[in-house]
Amino acid sequence: MIRKWITTNRMTLTFVLLGLVIFLFIVVPLGKMILASDPAILLDTFLDSEVMRSIWLTLYAALIATAVGCLLGVPLAYLLARANFPGKRLVEGLIDIPIVVPHTAAGIALLFVFGRNFMVGKAFGAIGIQFVDSMAGIVIAMLFVSIPFLIDSAKEGFRKVDVRLEKVARSLGASPWQAFFRISLPLAWRSIVAGNIMMWARGISEFGAVLILAYHPMIAPVLVYERFETYGLDYARPVAVLLIMVCLIVFIALRMLVYQKEK
Amino acid sequence: MIRKWITTNRMTLTFVLLGLVIFLFIVVPLGKMILASDPAILLDTFLDSEVMRSIWLTLYAALIATAVGCLLGVPLAYLLARANFPGKRLVEGLIDIPIVVPHTAAGIALLFVFGRNFMVGKAFGAIGIQFVDSMAGIVIAMLFVSIPFLIDSAKEGFRKVDVRLEKVARSLGASPWQAFFRISLPLAWRSIVAGNIMMWARGISEFGAVLILAYHPMIAPVLVYERFETYGLDYARPVAVLLIMVCLIVFIALRMLVYQKEK
Amino acid sequence: MIKIKNLCVDLGDFLLYDISFTVSEGEYFVVLGPTGAGKTVLLESIAGLYPIKSGEIWLRGKEVVRLEPEKRGVSIVYQDHALFPHLSVKDNVIFGLRLRKEKHQEIKVTLDWITDLLSISHLLHRKPETLSGGERQKVALARALSTKPKVLLLDEPLSALDPETRENLQQELRQLHRVLNITTVHVTHDFEEAIALGHRIAVIGEGHLKQVGTPEQIFRQPNSEFVARFAMTRNIYLGEAVHKANGDNIFRIEGTEFVSAADTEGTCHASIRPEDILISLEPIRSSARNCFPGTITGIIDKGATLYITVNLPPDISCLVTRHSFEELELEEGKRVHVTFKASAVHLF
Amino acid sequence: MIKIKNLCVDLGDFLLYDISFTVSEGEYFVVLGPTGAGKTVLLESIAGLYPIKSGEIWLRGKEVVRLEPEKRGVSIVYQDHALFPHLSVKDNVIFGLRLRKEKHQEIKVTLDWITDLLSISHLLHRKPETLSGGERQKVALARALSTKPKVLLLDEPLSALDPETRENLQQELRQLHRVLNITTVHVTHDFEEAIALGHRIAVIGEGHLKQVGTPEQIFRQPNSEFVARFAMTRNIYLGEAVHKANGDNIFRIEGTEFVSAADTEGTCHASIRPEDILISLEPIRSSARNCFPGTITGIIDKGATLYITVNLPPDISCLVTRHSFEELELEEGKRVHVTFKASAVHLF
């Protein structure tokens, strides 16, 4: 009986085994690190004001980046979902570039625009905002590497909204703005929220670009690296665990919120 | 006339302006860095054997990670696209976690499994493979952060293949393997290739996790950071430019290859 | 009321060109054409929802090509109803009224009126996804009518429904039009729907307007093979028309000569509707000028009625009721006689 | 040939339960039911492509529930043809033969035979996307038949086609079955298609089998309101059947008494097919036992034929040809007489 099942489902079985390898490869390191941690040390780390400050800073900076990204990215996503123009594919390709640009190189590139002695950096410097080793720099770095996630997700969301719903709304007397805010936006809402979550999470995870642009004030991923470099693995580990846990809690809570509304 | 157009298309105009801000924010730093580079210095950097070695190493390690990911990830993607089982959503969520885990924390987590004194690390050490400060470590780090991109893309590809095509193939006498290799795989091919490209590019871009697991041999993003730290911006810049250019060339060439076949 | 002049729209794959027609106040105008003929785009052009290439669109004596859709007073109902999925039935219906910032009391009056008219009052608090196909389409109609549009555009409103619901809603549409007398343009690919509802019918195909006329004209006097096929005239022949010395008009095909009441000459098409042809076992003495013996070569069973193909030659398809079919004991190979009037032979 | 016993399948939303029927060798069996009734899943269960919950499926005397689909010798054709988009027409057709590792020569022979049979030889090097709907469906048929299956399953093969192509392909299916005599199960939601093609028809709905019988039985003797509605019997009444002292069987509704040939008693349904009813201006002297005066209250125009609703009371719908319609000058409000035989009144 079982033998018969194995014979007829040999492919499924093979696929399950291969898939299991990669699944365990992802889950085991994270699981082990979290489960094998000493609660006492974790608590100590939790009470370490430097750690907590850096985690808050990370969450906060990523949140600002996400807010800015949402304001500027959602309209762009709507345009890309609805309009057809020559070179549209090129624009879409360019927007996705930050995902594939090496993070440290991205940091260098940003430095050449937002650095004290360059274009935008100078302009902002005149009004007292500087990007190197500052909160603003962290936000800029996070925004750069994470914005494509939001735009792609929102674009997909808008694409799934039947254009004819907007058309019906127009024929019923809605202006383009009304059609957008009453029909398209509410219907694409879930994708936009999911995109925001992804963008926030991706911002929190960034290390390379931030390291170049703003080593200080220290965000959590930088702190993990600093402790690893300075004190070694055992000191870096509780910070990393705490950071991963915060990430997961935020990520899971928000995702559940989105999926709950689905029902 | 133009005034009339502006009035009726006020929303489009606003959206274009907002979108333009974020578009320029992405394009200008990259464009400026590439275009403003001195060709002579670039050539020097190109002839610097340390730089070229690190770039080759990056490309090569990412390629191995992608190959491994393809072998293990595609079957998993197929399962996730076709099978329904309790907890499927959880599995999908877990697989996406590497995208949002802070890179340095991911590096620490991997170290706790693949490090010399831990589980898997020990086992592999016995057969002469070690992950810390080695090629194998780079591959592992890249694989971890980039595998979700491949799985997601391949999954979408398989989902778009009508199940009934497989069913027809079965009724015509195909075994599950034959249906997979002759129908599902060729039809999902484009998504799988696109996923591989994304995975490779994401592997090349990784910095944080690799930094923790294998500072040496030095991959290009690490080299950029090292030069930045040691010699300053002017020395890091040409390496970063070269790296970005290699990334873009590879990325664009492969994408065009995929889209060309589309026609 | 509606005047379209030399309208030309680009559909990507092909052009819809040289479209001109007029719909008068209170008319129920049906546009008939195959799937993919650009019927939906034609409606969207009238509503201002699809950019036109050239031509003029007049609504109530005003050129509206540059007018925004929300100012045209035109409502549209799509085949798949296009209800707003995130709003309740009630909010769907009053969507247009809310935009108009009407007073609460006025909205209530209109809502009651329209939901009573379409008997959907019991659905008000449901979400669109929980409704049946027929209910959805009624809600879409209510929503379209709530703003009291001058023109109602219906884009295959019955196509997505099962036969029974379709027939009911068809009756409802006719009834609604009788009550409201609103100028309506209804597009469909279903010929039966077109003649059941339309005051006039426009047949569209191959990128342009083929014929505009009353159902009777489209039915009996198609001006092209395309229209004849669409009107399900099964008997379409290409042959030679001649005037005979005795004054008869003859259409000659495969050695058989049909007498026609039309007076065309030369190579042309002839169409004879299957229901205009009588089948009998013996020749019938009557005023009908055409009577031919033939052999039954095919039977297409449609349930209540059947199409009998008789080879004279040529093959000619005749409609009989199940009743006659059983009474005459028709079967393949049987020798029968077909009879039809000269006026049934339409030449074009 | 095919024997289904107490089959039960889970469709997620609902169950298909207690399905039992037998299809004999060479029979053309049609399963008729509304959209979403689980017809496709029923076919996929027979082919082994959908897991069943319980029950037995026998093919050629063998219980096959545990047999893999590729070993059942059953081919399936889907509504949307499901051609392999990456393969040419030729490679689609010989897909099954290649899998069988047949010799090049044998494949060629089968390919020539099947493409000739379906007249698709000229399409061999085209890609599916370049074909018309009718051509695609023919290719799908060729592919299904290429492996010479014992059973052919057709899942709404004509539904996605326009009326003309549908009728042609329907003829082709009949012709094909005559030549190959292959046991066929064809599912559809179209009643006309069912009676045009089926040797026997099974009506499925609300999760189970409603009736199995010849087209004649389904048509004239529906066993439930569901089947009667599906067979487009427009006149279905719920009333009282009584035996009269003079031996007549009477069906009483709204004060009118129909004479029936059936002998049921008590509360029951009566159905009268519209095409069995004759409309005339004067009462007809004939052997028909039912003759009533009434007023025309509705006209549904179907082009070649029309449905006339006459209020006796109750409302009764009668089919007339356009010919009679015009001759009798029927219109709403006109007084007419309806006549039908006692045998036309079916009680259930």
Q: Write the pLDDT tens digit of every residue in B145-178.
A: 999 999 999 999 999 999 999 999 999 999 999 9
Residue B20 lies in a domain: no
Residue B50 lies in a domain: yes
pLDDT higher than threshold 50 for residue B252? yes
Chain C residues contacting D, CB < 8 Å?
A: 34-35, 162-164, 167, 170-171, 189, 191-192, 195-196, 215, 219, 229, 231-232, 273-276, 298, 300-305, 319, 321-323
CA distance D139 to D119: 10
- pLDDT at res. B226: 92
A171: closest CA among C30, C180, C152?
Answer: C152
CA distance A255 to A198: 10
CA distance B132 to B115: 6
CA distance C118 to C77: 15
**Beta bridge partner(s), residue D321:** D305
- pLDDT at res. B40: 87
CA distance D210 to C303: 19
- Inter-residue contact A29 to B109 (CB < 8 Å): yes
Query: Residue A86 is part of a domain; what is its CATH number?
Result: 1.10.3720.10
Whether A143 has its CB under 8 Å from any CB of chain B: the answer is yes
Q: Which of A167, A173, A178 sits opposite C147 (nearest CB)?
A: A173
User: What's the token pair of residue B255?
Assistant: 């994408």
Q: Do D100 and B175 touch (CB under 8 A)?
A: no
Residues of A in contact with C100 (CB under 8 A): 173
Quickly list H helices, C19-162.
39-47, 89-93, 95-99, 104-117, 133-146
- pLDDT at res. B1: 53
- Inter-residue contact A160 to A188 (CB < 8 Å): yes
Residue B113 lies in a domain: yes
C246 vs D103, more confident: D103
A30: closest CA among B251, C176, C110, B97?
Answer: B97
pLDDT higher than threshold 90 for residue A54? yes
Torsion angle defined by CA atoms of residues B113, B114, B118 and B122, in that order, rounded to the nearest 10 degrees: 140
Residue A26 lies in a domain: no
Containing domain of residue A206, as a range?
42-262
The set of residues, in sequence order, having a beta carbon less than 8 Å from that of C124 and lying 6+ positions away, is: C88, C89, C90, C93, C115
DSSP state of A131: -
- pLDDT at res. A158: 95
pLDDT tier for residue A165 given thresholds of 50, 70 and 90: very high
The Cα of B73 is separated from the nearest Cα of chain D by a number of Å equal to: 24
Could you give the C-alpha distances from C246 to C242, C258, C268, C289, in angstroms and in order?
Answer: 11, 15, 21, 14
Question: What value does the mean pLDDT take over residues C169-179?
Answer: 90
pLDDT higher than threshold 70 for residue D172? yes
- pLDDT at res. B263: 45
The Cα of D36 is separated from the nearest Cα of chain B by a number of Å equal to: 17
The Cα of A103 is separated from the nearest Cα of chain B by a number of Å equal to: 6
Distance of CA C324 to the CA centre of its chain: 29
- pLDDT at res. B262: 53
pLDDT higher than threshold 90 for residue A44? no
Q: D34-85, pLDDT tens digit by residue?
A: 887 889 999 999 999 998 899 999 998 889 988 889 889 999 999 888 999 9
Q: What is the mean pLDDT of chain D?
A: 88
Count of beta carbons in the 10 Å neighbourhood of residue D18: 13
A-chain residue closest to C143, CA distance: A172
- pLDDT at res. A3: 66
Residue B73's SS3 state is helix
- pLDDT at res. B2: 63
Is it true that the peptide bond before D313 is cis, omega within 30 degrees of 0?
yes
Q: Which of A15, A58, A207 sits opposite B78 (nearest CB)?
A: A15
Count of beta carbons in the 10 Å neighbourhood of residue A2: 6
CA distance C99 to C105: 15
Rg (CA), chain D: 24
Question: Of the ranges A76-80, C106-110, D297-301, D336-340, which one carries the lowest mean pLDDT score?
Answer: D297-301
Residue A253's SS3 state is helix
The Cα of D162 is separated from the nearest Cα of chain C by a number of Å equal to: 8
Residue C137's SS3 state is helix
User: What's the token pair of residue D88?
Assistant: 């040419």
Q: Helices B185-205 and A88-100 meet at what angle, rounded to 10?
A: 50
Q: C63-115, pLDDT tens digit by residue?
A: 998 888 988 999 999 988 899 999 999 999 999 999 988 899 999 999 999 99
Residue A5 lies in a domain: no
Q: Do A172 and C143 touch (CB under 8 A)?
A: yes
Residue C231's SS3 state is coil
ipTM: 0.84
CA distance B205 to C133: 51
Q: Report how far apart the first and last C-alpha atoms of chain B are (Å, whole number).
A: 40
C-chain residue closest to A170, CA distance: C70
User: What's the token pair of residue C300?
Assistant: 């297409």
Amino acid B120 reads V
Count structural domains, chain B: 1
Three-state secondary structure string covering chain D: CEEEEEEEEECCCCEEEEEEEEECCCCEEEEECCCCCCHHHHHHHHHCCCCCCEEEEEECCEECCCCCHHHCCEEEECCCCCCCCCCCHHHHHCHHHHHCCCCHHHHHHHHHHHHHHCCCHHHCCCCHHHCCHHHHHHHHHHHHHHCCCCEEEEECCCCCCCHHHHHHHHHHHHHHHHHHCCEEEEEECCHHHHHHHCCEEEEEECCEEEEEECHHHHHHCCCCHHHHHHCCCCEEEEEEEEECCCCCEEEEECCEEEEECCCCCEEEEEEECHHHCEEECCCCCCCCCEEEEEEEEEEEECCCEEEEEEECCCEEEEEEEHHHHHHCCCCCCCEEEEEECHHHCEEC
Residues of C in contact with D232 (CB under 8 A): 163, 303-304
- pLDDT at res. C341: 86
- pLDDT at res. C302: 80
Amino acid A263 reads K
Angle, CA C102 vertex, CA C100 and CA C108 arms, to 5°: 125
Quickly list H helices, chain A.
2-8, 10-35, 39-47, 49-82, 88-100, 103-114, 119-126, 135-160, 163-171, 176-179, 185-205, 208-213, 220-230, 233-262
Q: Do A76 and B27 touch (CB under 8 A)?
A: no
C223: closest CA among C236, C207, C240, C239?
Answer: C236
Question: What value does the mean pLDDT take over residues B37-64?
Answer: 90
The Cα of A165 is separated from the nearest Cα of chain C by a number of Å equal to: 6
Question: What value does the mean pLDDT take over residues D135-142?
Answer: 93
Q: Give A4-63 as a DSSP string.
A: HHHHHTHHHHHHHHHHHHHHHHHHHHHHHHHHTS-HHHHHHHHH-HHHHHHHHHHHHHHH
Residue C29's SS3 state is strand
- pLDDT at res. A5: 64
Q: Helices A103-114 and A119-126 meet at what angle, rounded to 10?
A: 50
Residue B28 lies in a domain: no
Q: Which of C163, C191, C321 sits opposite D303 (nearest CB)?
A: C191
Q: Which of A71, A102, A144 sits opposite B204 (nearest CB)?
A: A102
Q: Do A225 and B212 touch (CB under 8 A)?
A: yes
**Strands (DSSP E) found in chain C:** 2-10, 15-23, 28-32, 54-59, 62-63, 74-77, 151-155, 183-188, 200-205, 208-213, 235-243, 249-253, 256-260, 266-272, 278-280, 290-301, 305-311, 315-321, 335-340, 346-347
Report phi then psi at D259, rounded to 5: -90, 130
Chains A and C form CB pairs within 8 A to the count of 59
Quickly list H helices, C59-214.
89-93, 95-99, 104-117, 133-146, 163-180, 191-197
Torsion angle defined by CA atoms of residues A223, A226, A229 and A233, in that order, rounded to the nearest 10 degrees: -20
Residue B23 lies in a domain: no
Residue B11 lies in a domain: no
Could you give the C-alpha distances from B97 to B112, B120, B201, D106, in angstroms and in order?
Answer: 17, 21, 18, 54
Residue B3's SS3 state is helix
pLDDT higher than threshold 90 for residue A107? yes
Residues of A in contact with C85 (CB under 8 A): 187
Residue B174's SS3 state is coil
